[in-house]
Structure 1
Amino acid sequence: MRVVVIGAGVAGLALARGLLLAGHDAEVYEEATEPRTAGGSVTLWPGSTAILKELKVDLAGIGRRLETMESWDGAGRPLFTVDLTAAERRFGHPTVHIARRELVELLADGVPVAYGARAEHVVPERAEVRLADGDTVRGDVLVGADGRRSTVRAALWGDDPAGLSGWVTWQGFATRPTALTEQRRAIMIPGARGLCGLIPAGRGRLLWWFDVRSATGRPFWADDPHVVARLRERFAGWPDPVPAVLEGLADADFFPHHRHRVPSAWGRGPVTLAGDSAHTMPPTMAQGANQALEDAWLLTRSIGDLRGYERARSKVVRRPARLAATEVTNVQRIFAGLIPDRLATRMYAAWLRGASNYLLTAS
């Protein structure tokens, strides 16, 4: 079967890779003129690391295997700790934090991608796409994996359904050594002024991010040339290693959080969607890349039944999308510390299974 994939992000590359391994003819068309490796890093839960293994993506020596996920109060005292090794033992695969650049490069290896090929017009009934250079590509199946501003989705759904949630993330990598850089702990510190998150990403890098509330429709500090000073002021006095991270900031990337209701049907005829094109959600549950990999895994196996793929995925992906839309991690200080660590660990492992078609099928 010939499958045309629009978009060379995590969803598009993983899908094409899976299809090629399954013996299909897959081609990827990407608007950017080079691989889209910008961004911070992603946490890959056990279902995703299992899927990557099936895709013959070797994570050995890449990123950082995580053992705990912790929430601290403003003095640096633990509120709760989730033992991620419990999920690793239960599902047989680890949780790994990896730079997005490295994940994209691994997925792209051996996958045919046409860069600088912007999709301009889509004819869903014929699985046909006219590119900006005038060329037309057609497949037996067309998959829109072209992100939140998807051209393929626009041809199917019309207007962009996503709206702002009222939160914005500022993020980057700290390369100065800290007490956490070489550890295997993911840390979240919620407070009245926002949330700071810290996760080691391997190779001497520590991902930092600051989530702050924003007036809906207006990204917080988006046009402020003094954003680093703003972050230092807002999060001054937070526990170590936050002061060291703030001191080392030179610049910060930002993105506003978007969310929308996930419908049961994503496409029609020989066309479907994958990744953010189908289910944009805030990053608060670290599910964007994971759900993209879930899409790729199930769609590879359901390429002859697109509506069946959509029904099965929408039923599962709604769970993390709805929870992420509440921005629950950003307001966790309200309930953090009320649940014993052992119960929190069991609940989190169960939640990971419920958010994964792969784990639900395999276990």
Structure 2
Amino acid sequence: MRVLVVGAGISGLAAARGLIAAGHEVVVLEQAEELRLGGGAITLWYNGTAILRDLGVDLDGSGQRLTTLCLRTAGGRRVLDFDLEALADRFGSAARVIPRGSLITLLESGLPEGTVQFGARLAALQADVDGVRVRTQAGEDYSGDFLVGADGVHSRVRALVLGDGPAALTGAAIWQGLTPAPFDPGSTTTLMVGRQGDFGYMGAGDGLMQWFFDVPWSPDAPPEDKPLEMLRRRFAGWGSPVEQVLSSLADGDAELFPHTRHKVPCRWGAGRCALLGDAAHGMPPVMAQGTNQALEDVATLVECLAEVPDPGAVVGVYSAKRRRRAALASTLASHGLAVSGPRTFMQSEYLMRMNGAAPPRLATRGFGRLLSSLSSRI
């Protein structure tokens, strides 16, 4: 089968690898003129690293393996420590942080030369019972038996196939960066939660640290010319190492990404056109589920294309298999953190410490069950 994949991000390149390994001919259409290697680091949970291993992607030596997830109050008091190594033994794969550009490079390096066609911005799409046809803005035509829309939260494929609008803003945003680490965070990923929002940091390998602040945000608010000053004001009085991290940054290090959320559709496409990743279920970065859910999509779609004889019936089977878990991940990501309003009371210092009374082993087991409920791989 000849498959057209729109988008050369993580999900699109992963889909290309899986489809080629399954014996399909694949062309990836990317609107940019080259691979986009920017952005911060990606947290891969156990399902994500397992699926990448299934796709032949060797992550050893890339990024940072995680052994502990530490939850703290805004004042810096420990609430819970989750034993990520115990879960690695249970699931047979490890949690890892890796720069997005490094993962993109690893995924692309395993593709045959010429698989990715750059400068191919989608202009029109036509699908019928016999196949799909695409025209780019440059006037180039591509045809295939099936099409995969992996073109992100602002998906052109989703707009053409489902006819709906862009993902909705949630009222929050993340300021984040991948910068030289001002200290060694080791193999621990730390999340500090308070009524003003949250702050997290973790090593990403090669002396780099991924850090982020989640805060309220409105598109009507004036642009932040000095985001570091705003973050220092908002998170003043927070425990170590908030000030240390902020003091290590320079203007331009902090990038703003508004939280968005797509309604997870009942059918992830139509006819011979399927959506995956953010094109199907864009969600806030809380709990770091976006990439991991996209990789779940890839594994399931490749499986469905192998098992369902009629390409026109693949979307229905694929949607049914993936919708419940993706919708649950989206709900958890959208409601797992409050940055304003009465729900922030649950993130006060006192209640955070009260909620951290569970024994570490029990907390780790519960976290593992949560991750398992979001995956069909682990």
User: TM tier, shorter chain?
Assistant: over 0.9
Question: Structure 2: how far apart are the matches of 1:213 and 1:3?
Answer: 41
Q: Is the 8 A contact 1:196 1:211 kept in 2?
A: yes
The aligned runs of 1:207-226 (5 Å cut-off) are 207-215=210-218, 217-218=219-220, 223-226=223-226
What is aligned with 1:61?
A: 61
Number of aligned residue pairs: give it. 354
TM-score, with structure 2 as normaliser: 0.90
Does residue 185 (structure 1) correspond to residue 204 (structure 2)? The answer is no
Structure 1 range deviating more: 78-87 or 196-205: 78-87
| Counterpart-to-counterpart distance in 1, 2:247 and 2:214 | 18
* Contact 1:174 1:245 (C-alpha < 8 Å) held by counterparts: no
Report the CA distance between 1:224 and its aligned residue.
2.2
The answer to whether the Cα contact below 8 Å between 1:11 and 1:292 also exists between their aligned partners in 2 is yes
Q: Does 1:300 align with 2:302?
A: yes
- Residues 241-260 of structure 1 mapped to structure 2, 5 A cutoff: 241-250=241-250, 251=252, 252-260=254-262
1:213-248: CA deviation from partner (whole Å, max 9, x where unpaired): 123x44x66x22211221222223322222121011
Which sections of structure 2, spanning at least 5 residues, go unmatched? 309-313
Letter paired with 2:320: R
Quote the offset at 1:294 in angstroms. 0.9
Q: Does 1:113 align with 2:116?
A: yes
Cα offset, 1:21, TM superposition: 1.2
State which of 127, 137, 140 in structure 1 corresponds to 2:142.
137
State the TM-score, normalized to the length of structure 1.
0.93
Quote the residue 2:176 is aligned against: 171
2:33 partner SS? coil
Aligned partner of residue 106 in structure 1, secondary structure = helix
Work out which of the residue numbers 285, 290, 296 in structure 1 matches 2:292. 290
Letter in 1 for 2:125: V
Q: What is the deviation of 1:124?
A: 3.0
Report whether the alignment pairs 1:104 with 2:113. Answer: no
The residue aligned with 1:48 is 48
How many angstroms does 1:204 deviate by? 0.4
Offset, 1:161: 4.9
Which residue, out of 341, 344, 347, partners 1:333?
347
Q: Which AA in structure 1 matches 2:143?
A: R
CA distance in 1, matches of 2:181, 2:270: 50
1:320 partnered with 2:325: no
TM-superposed deviation, 1:177:
3.1
Deviation at 1:329, TM superposition (A): 7.3
SS at match of 2:39: coil
What root-mean-square deviation, in Å, do the aligned CA atoms of Structure 1 and Structure 2 show? 1.6
In the alignment, is residue 350 of structure 1 matched against residue 366 of structure 2?
no
Distance of 1:8 and 1:179 partners within structure 2: 33
Shift of 1:179: 4.2
Q: 1:79: how far off?
A: 1.0
Query: CA 1:345 to 1:158, structure 2 compared with 1: closer, same or farther past 3 Å?
Result: same
> C-alpha displacement at 1:249, in angstroms?
1.3
Q: Judge conservation of contact 2:68–2:189 (CA < 8 Å) in 1.
A: yes
* 1:18-33 alignment runs, 5 A limit: 18-33=18-33
User: Which deviations, in whole Å up to 9, do the C-alpha atoms of 1:126-172 show, x marking residues without a partner?
Assistant: 42111111011111001110011111111122132521111110001
Q: Which whole-Å CA distance do the structure 2 matches of 1:203 and 1:37 have between them?
A: 16
**Which is worse superposed, 155-164 or 246-255?**
155-164
Question: For 2:203, which of 200, 203, 206 is the aligned residue?
Answer: 200
Distance (Å, rounded) in 2 between the aligned partners of 1:150 and 1:176: 34
CA shift, 1:327, in A, is 3.7
Mapping for residues 89-100 of structure 1, pairs under 5 Å: 89-100=89-100
> 2:311 is matched with which residue?
none
Distance in 2 (CA, whole Å) between partners of 1:50 and 1:336 is: 32
Q: Matched residue of 1:285: which SS?
A: helix
In the alignment, is the contact (CA less than 8 A) between 2:64 and 2:204 conserved in 1?
yes
Gaps of 5+ in 1: none
Please tell me whether residue 15 in structure 1 is matched to residue 15 in structure 2.
yes
Structure 1 Cα separation of the partners of residues 48 and 158 of structure 2: 25
| Aligned mates of 2:193, 2:247 — CA distance in 1 | 20
CA contact (8 A) 2:41 2:98 kept: yes
